[in-house]
């Protein structure tokens, strides 16, 4: 498949795995994806969730990327076009870039919670997560994924205490899932990576196509 897809409807989040927390090794470290339906998600107060962005607030073009840390195509986009976008347009004040999480699965949620453990380190941890995606996902064993994510967090400068607190925060996890559902429904997101460029939705694309779209918006 060229794109991993998800479905959000009036019913339950299809890819959810149930409420509560995922327990391993005698510890309730890692929250599950919540199974709230769209109506329930809409009623959740998500004002505590920080919008992760870089670039000038008054940049003429805003690019919002919807992506999952476990999506291979998102890793390809992040390690290629997204880096060129940053150097040529974000760092020069022409584009404000916003990253919004999509949760296909528990590892993607856990990775987000590690990245969000310190908002000042978010994009640095995001770079590591995408560059090392295959390594930390491994063969998909939850305990090993958790250990790999902790290792990445520590390399990025997070303490054991910070990681313990962030990964055990079930309320934060459920709020993140509701925030994701609200955003995805509002922007009609059904695949990753998806891009919203000055309010217009686009699918995954090459750097040449993305650059052309940005230049077109800058010219308007």
What is the pLDDT at residue 129?
98
What is the pLDDT at residue 115?
98
Residue % of the chain over a pLDDT of 90:
76
Residues 6+ apart with CB under 8 A from 5: 190, 191
What is the pLDDT at residue 33?
52
| Closest among 79, 71, 99 to 4, alpha carbons compared | 71
For the residues 55-75, what does the mean pLDDT come to? 97
Given CATH 3.40.30.10, say whether it is the number of domain 37-219: yes
| Residue 27: pLDDT band with limits 50, 70, 90 | very low
Q: What does the pLDDT look like over 102-132, one tens digit per residue?
A: 998 899 999 999 999 999 999 999 999 999 9
What is the pLDDT at residue 44?
86
What is the pLDDT at residue 30?
46
Whether the predicted pLDDT of 163 surpasses 60: yes
* CA–CA dist 69, 102 (Å, integer): 8
Long-range contacts of residues 209-218, Cβ cutoff 8 Å, at least 24 apart: 210/81, 210/85, 211/84, 211/88, 214/61, 214/63, 214/85, 214/89, 214/94, 214/95, 217/60, 217/61, 218/60, 218/61, 218/94
Q: What does the pLDDT look like over 92-103, one tens digit per residue?
A: 999 999 999 999
What is the pLDDT at residue 36?
53
What is the pLDDT at residue 40?
74
Domain residues of the chain, as ranges? 37-219
Whether the predicted pLDDT of 14 surpasses 90: no
Residues 6+ apart with CB under 8 A from 86: 54, 97
Whether the predicted pLDDT of 144 surpasses 60: yes
Q: Please state whether 197 falls in left (phi above 0), alpha (psi between -120 and 50) or beta.
A: beta
Whether the predicted pLDDT of 214 surpasses 90: yes
Establish how many alpha carbons lie within 13 A of residue 62's alpha carbon, considering only the half-sphere containing its beta carbon: 13
| Statement: the pTM of the whole predicted model exceeds 0.75 | yes
For the residues 7-24, what does the mean pLDDT come to? 28
Three-class SS state of 133 = helix
How many CB atoms are located within 10 Å of the residue 190 CB?
15
Lowest average pLDDT, out of 11-25, 96-110, 118-132, 181-195, goes to: 11-25
For the residues 150-169, what does the mean pLDDT come to? 95
What is the pLDDT at residue 18?
32
* Residue located via tokens 């993607």: 108
Residue % of the chain over a pLDDT of 70:
82
Establish how many alpha carbons lie within 13 A of residue 113's alpha carbon, considering only the half-sphere containing its beta carbon: 31
């Amino acid at each position: 498949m060229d794109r991993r897809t998800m479905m959000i409807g009036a019913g339950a989040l299809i890819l959810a795995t149930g409420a509560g927390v995922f327990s391993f090794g005698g510890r309730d470290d890692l929250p599950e994806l919540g199974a709230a339906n769209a109506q329930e998600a809409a009623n959740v107060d998500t004002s505590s969730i920080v919008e992760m962005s870089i670039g000038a607030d008054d940049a003429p073009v805003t690019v919002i990327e919807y992506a999952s840390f476990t999506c291979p195509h998102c890793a390809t986009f992040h390690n290629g076009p997204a880096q060129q976008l940053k150097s040529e347009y974000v760092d020069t004040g022409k584009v404000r870039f916003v990253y919004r999480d999509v949760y296909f699965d528990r590892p993607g949620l856990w990775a987000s919670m590690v990245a969000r453990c310190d908002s000042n380190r978010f994009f640095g941890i995001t770079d590591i997560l995408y560059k090392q995606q295959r390594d930390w996902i491994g063969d998909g064993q939850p305990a090993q994924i958790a250990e790999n994510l902790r290792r990445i967090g520590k390399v990025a400068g997070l303490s054991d205490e910070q990681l313990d607190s962030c990964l055990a925060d079930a309320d934060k996890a459920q709020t993140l899932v509701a925030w994701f559902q609200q955003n995805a429904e509002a922007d009609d997101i059904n695949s990753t990576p998806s891009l919203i460029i000055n309010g217009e939705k686009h699918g995954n694309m090459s750097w040449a196509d993305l650059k052309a779209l940005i230049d077109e918006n800058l010219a308007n």
